[in-house]
Each structure stands twice: as C-alpha cells, then as structure tokens.
C-alpha cells in the first residue's frame, strides 16, 4: 500500500480548496434508497435498542476548543504572541520538517502549551468515554494532538491518533524511541530535547506535513466497513487523508455530524440517512446525551474524574 502522508492545507483548521430512514431497518441494512430523513432522536433510539453497536467516531479541533486549547494562528491569543518572537514565515511552518530542523524552538513553544496535562477533557470527550464503557465504541479517530481522549480514559487500543501524539518521541538522528515523560522536563523548561545517545533532536511523534501517518491509521480499512454508525464531531474535514474517512462507511450506515457548520460530504454530497446537529459542539453532544437518557451517567462520570484530578 502506498504510504499516506498528511497533506496541506491544513493542520488544525487552515483552509484548503475542496478537491474533492427513520428507524425502519436498523443500522447497516439495505442501500441508500432515499427514505425518511433521520433525526438525532432516531440515532439515539438506534443506539439504545442496540441496532447500532459498532460506532466509529471522528473528531477534530472543535472538540477540544471548549477545554481551552488555544489556536496558535489567532492574533490576540497568548500562544500567538509567544510565537511572534520567532518571526515565522507563516504559522504552519511549525509543522514543516525543513523549518523544524532549521529552528525547532517555535514547535517546542507550541508543544509546551499543548503538552498533555495542561488541559482537561470536557463533556464531549466523556461522551466518547461512555460509548467505550458501554461497549459501543469500535474506534475513535482523532486529528488532535492534545491527548485529551487518553486523559478522558479512552484506551490506546481504541484510539487512532491520525496526526500523532506526545505520548512517545523519536530521535531525528539515531531513531531511538522514548516515552513522552522522558522529554517533558526539557520541553517545560524551554529547552530543545536532545538524545542522550547521539545528541540529535528528539521530536515528539506528531505528524508533520509530508510525513507518513501512523500505521494505526490503516485500521480504517477494517473499521469503517464494520461500523454501523459514524459520528463526526468538531472538524472542518479539510485535512487529507483524514477527511476522506467521512465517506468510507457503507452507504446504508447513518452518519451524524455535530459541528458549527456543514462540512465535507454533509455539505456537497449528503446521504438520506445523514443527521447534522449544527451549532455549539458541547450543546450538540448534550442534546444527543439527553436523547440517549445518559445525562445522569455523564454527570456522574465527569464528577468522578474531576474528583480524581483534585487528589
């Protein structure tokens, strides 16, 4: 299989040009015949009745914004101001290997801000945790590198971190692997982490432009044909090849978009069994949670996790 790499534009939301039944039969049966439009309540009923038991979820930056994750491209943000000192040619240069080897400091300034532990999961992350706890989550595909899915308690076996992770790192010279904790001290102290073996720069296993995606990304070849429900939350569906996964499920499988606006195939090639809940992401997730009858469960889960953090 030809290696797949992350394509511009863009990472973390920069624009690019687009290149590209009622509850009558359960999930995954039949074709796209243009029957009755589904609603969020219908989706909840399919989940409650276990007509859908193999849920694949795709998430982007919009799921983490309510946790306070800053946008490094937004003037006025503290992170943007911190990066101004480096006189970047353009913000996305941070994620280009040539620029990284020329000047790694901007990336590690960003890494210090985004490093796991600086921010906490929000209700949307804990909704995904509930899907897992109930045995419904087949796989979670995330574009995010903030680690909030792991922090919410979703096991690594259920995660595909399509754009990489801070949980591990690799020397750019000798290719020695390191757990994330080993270079965290340097990152937090504003030092560029160096390999103890060869003194090469240690780079977190975050995918830069042009780099191959993690091998786990190719789990989609098996996951999406098996899925009987696809939920997409908080993404512009503009970064390839991640964006194309939104069309990888069987046409008979309902797709749910919880997002500020219509994106990707929901905008230009909708299916009759698509459901779009537009507006604030947290409000949209709350509506689905309420329709499922899980409000008390998620409140209890959030409280338990908050109490753990306080210890």
- What does residue 43 show for φ and ψ, rounded to 5 degrees? -60, -45
pLDDT tens track for 4-52 = 665 543 333 332 222 222 232 345 443 344 557 899 999 999 999 999 9
CATH topology of domain 70-117+165-206: SIR2/SIRT2 'Small Domain' (3.30.1600)
Strand partners of residue 5: 212
Band (pLDDT 50/70/90 cuts) for residue 90 is: confident
Across 19-28, 101-110, 165-174, least confident range = 19-28
Domain with CATH 3.30.1600.10 in the chain: 70-117+165-206
What average pLDDT does range 66-82 have in this prediction?
67
Residue 35's pLDDT is what? Answer: 57
Average pLDDT, the chain: 86
Please give the average per-residue pLDDT across 116-123, as a whole number. 89
Sign of CA dihedral 61, 62, 63, 66: positive
From the CB of residue 150, how many other CB atoms can be counted at a distance below 10 Å?
19
- When pLDDT is cut at 50, 70 and 90, the band that residue 307 belongs to is confident
pLDDT of 113: 83
> Binding site for Zn(2+), residues?
171, 174, 195, 198
CA dihedral 201, 207, 209, 211 (to 10 degrees): 80
Choosing from 125, 132, 163, 220, which is the catalytic residue?
Answer: 163
State pLDDT tens for residues 200-234: 999 999 999 889 999 999 999 999 999 999 999 99
Give the pLDDT band of residue 102 (cuts 50, 70, 90).
very high
Higher pLDDT, 8 or 98: 98
Strand ranges for 172-307 from DSSP E: 177-179, 202-206, 229-233, 255-259, 274-278
Homologous superfamily assigned to 11-66+122-162+215-310: TPP-binding domain (3.40.50.1220)
Report whether pLDDT(296) > 90: yes
pLDDT of residue 161: 97
Pairing of strands 137-142, 55-59: parallel
Closest CA to 128 of 148, 111, 113: 148
Q: Which residue has the higher pLDDT, 118 or 202?
A: 202
pLDDT at residue 156 tops 90? yes
Q: Residue 109: name the closest of 94, 120, 97, 98 by CA.
A: 94
- Out of 70-74, 95-99, 259-263, which region has the weakest mean confidence (pLDDT)? 70-74
Which are the contacts of 125, defined by CB distance < 8 A and separation ≥ 6?
63, 67, 148, 149, 151, 152, 154
Banded pLDDT at 118 (limits 50, 70, 90): confident
What's the angle, vertex CA 131, arms to CA 130 and CA 136, rounded to 5?
145
Quote the pTM value. 0.86
Binding annotation: 61-65, 71-73, 143-146, 171, 174, 195, 198, 235-236, 259-261
List residues forming the annotated binding site for NAD(+). Answer: 61-65, 71-73, 143-146, 235-236, 259-261
Active site residue 163: yes
Q: What is the pLDDT of residue 73?
A: 59
């Amino acid at each position: 299989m030809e290696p797949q790499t992350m394509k511009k534009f863009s990472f973390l939301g920069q624009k690019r040009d687009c290149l590209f039944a009622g509850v009558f039969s359960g999930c995954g049966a039949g074709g796209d015949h243009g029957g009755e439009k589904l609603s969020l309540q219908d989706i909840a009923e399919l989940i409650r009745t276990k007509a859908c038991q193999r849920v694949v979820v795709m998430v982007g930056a919009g799921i983490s914004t309510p946790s306070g994750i800053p946008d490094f491209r937004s003037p006025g943000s503290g992170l943007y101001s911190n990066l101004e000192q480096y006189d970047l040619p353009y913000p996305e240069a941070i994620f280009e290997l040539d620029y990284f080897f020329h000047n790694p400091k901007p990336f590690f300034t960003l890494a210090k801000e985004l490093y796991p532990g600086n921010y906490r999961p929000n209700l949307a992350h804990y909704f995904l945790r509930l899907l897992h706890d109930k045995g419904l989550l087949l796989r979670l595909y995330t574009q995010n590198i903030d680690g909030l899915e792991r922090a919410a308690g979703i096991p690594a076996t259920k995660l595909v971190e399509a754009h990489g992770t801070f949980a591990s790192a690799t020397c750019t010279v000798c290719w020695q692997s390191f757990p994330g904790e080993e270079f965290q001290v340097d990152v937090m102290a504003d030092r560029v982490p160096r390999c103890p073996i060869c003194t090469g720069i240690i780079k977190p296993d975050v995918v830069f432009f042009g780099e191959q995606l993690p091998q786990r990304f190719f789990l989609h070849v098996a996951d999406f044909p098996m899925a009987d429900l696809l939920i997409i939350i908080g993404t512009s569906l503009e970064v390839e090849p991640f964006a194309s996964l939104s069309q990888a499920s069987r046409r008979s499988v309902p797709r749910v978009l919880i997002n500020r606006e219509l994106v990707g195939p929901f905008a230009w090639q909708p299916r009759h069994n698509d459901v779009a809940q537009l507006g604030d992401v947290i409000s949209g997730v709350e509506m689905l949670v309420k329709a499922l009858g899980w409000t008390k469960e998620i409140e209890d889960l959030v409280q338990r996790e908050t109490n753990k953090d306080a210890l």
